[in-house]
Amino acid sequence: MILIQFILGSSIASFISLVVSRHLVGESIVIPRSHCDSCQHPLCYYDLIPIISYLTLRGRCRYCRAKIPPTTIIVEFVLGVLFILTPLDFFNVIFLLNVIILLALSLFDISTQRVPTLGILFLLITYIISGHHTSHQLIIATLFYIVSQLINYRERFIGNGDIDILICLWLPTNLGFMLWVTCLACISAIIYLLIIPWPNNNKIPFVPFITIGYVLTHHF
C-alpha cells in the first residue's frame, strides 16, 4: 500500500506539472501528445515515469539534452511522500485535495507570480464540502478579507492572490490553524531569502511557502 500510495501521489503531481506547463503556453492538456518543450520531440512512456525518468535522464531531455525544471521531481516526490504519510479519511482527503491545488498554484506562482482565479474557486469548493463555520464567523471573515485587501491595495505587502488563498484555507479550519500556517510560511520564506540572492524586484512567489506552512501545520 505504501508503494501504491507513493505512485498515486507522484503520478498526480506529474499530471499537475503537465497541466501548468500546457496552460502557460496555451496548449490543450489532451493534444498534442507529451513532448519536450524545447525540441518538441514526442516522449515515450519510459520518459514519463514520475521521479525515475528524471533521475535516469539526469534532469535532461533524452533527445535534445535540454534541462528539465527541477520543480518537476520536487513536486512529484513531495506529493508522493504526503500520500504515504496521510491516512485516507474524509478530513485528510480534503487536506490532500487542498495540497494538490496549492501545488498547482505554487507552480503558477513560481513561473508567473500570478495565481489563477480558477484555483481559488477550487479551494472554495473544498470549503463548501467540509466547511463548519457559523454565519457570524463568515461575516467576520468577509469583513477581515475586505479590510486586508484594502490595506494591501495601498501598500502591496503581499499579492492579492496570497490573501485569497489564506482566507480559503481558513474557512474549513480555524484561526489558530491559520496563524500557524502564516507564521511557518513567513519563516520558510525568510530561510529561502537567506539562502538565495535577494530578488531585484523585491518579490518572491509566496504560494509555495503557504503550502509548506499548511502541510507542516496539518501534520504537526
The count of structural domains within the chain is 2
Cell of 46: 519510459
**Residues 111 and 60 reside in one and the same domain:** no
**Residues 210 and 132 reside in one and the same domain:** yes
108-167 pLDDT, tens per residue? 888 888 888 888 888 888 877 776 667 777 787 788 778 877 776 766 666 677 888 888
Which residue range(s) make up the domain with 114? 89-219
**Residues 51 and 109 reside in one and the same domain:** no
190-209 pLDDT, tens per residue? 999 888 877 777 778 889 99
What is the per-residue burial (b if ≥16 Cβ within 10 Å, else e) of 181-201? bbebbeebbeeeeeeeeeeee
Cell of 28: 490543450
pLDDT for the residue numbered 217: 93
Q: How far apart are CA 126 and CA 94, in angstroms?
A: 7
CB 208, CB 99: distance < 8 Å: no
Q: What are phi and psi for residue 182, nearest 5 degrees?
A: -65, -45
CB 11, CB 18: distance < 8 Å: no
pLDDT for the residue numbered 159: 66
18-61 pLDDT, tens per residue? 888 888 877 777 777 777 777 777 777 777 788 888 888 888 88
Q: How far apart are CA 2 and CA 95, in angstroms?
A: 18
**Residues 111 and 208 reside in one and the same domain:** yes
Which distant-in-sequence residues (6+ apart) come within 8 Å of 61 by Cβ? 36, 38, 39, 41, 67, 68
**Residues 4 and 79 reside in one and the same domain:** yes
Chain-centroid distance of CA 61 in Å reads 24
Which distant-in-sequence residues (6+ apart) come within 8 Å of 220 by Cβ? none
pLDDT for the residue numbered 183: 94
Query: Which SS3 state, helix, strand or coil, does residue 60 take?
Result: strand
Half-sphere exposure (Cβ direction) of 61: Cα atoms closer than 13 Å: 15
**Residues 81 and 96 reside in one and the same domain:** no
Residue 64 pLDDT > 90: no
**Residues 73 and 96 reside in one and the same domain:** no
Q: How far apart are CA 185 and CA 207, in angstroms?
A: 9
**Residues 59 and 110 reside in one and the same domain:** no
Higher pLDDT, 9 or 153: 9
Residue percentage of the chain with pLDDT more than 70? 95
CB 188, CB 213: distance < 8 Å: yes
Q: How confident is the model at residue 102 (pLDDT cuts 50, 70, 90)?
A: very high
Q: How far apart are CA 183 and CA 13, in angstroms?
A: 26
H or E element at residue 136: helix 135-155
pLDDT for the residue numbered 101: 92
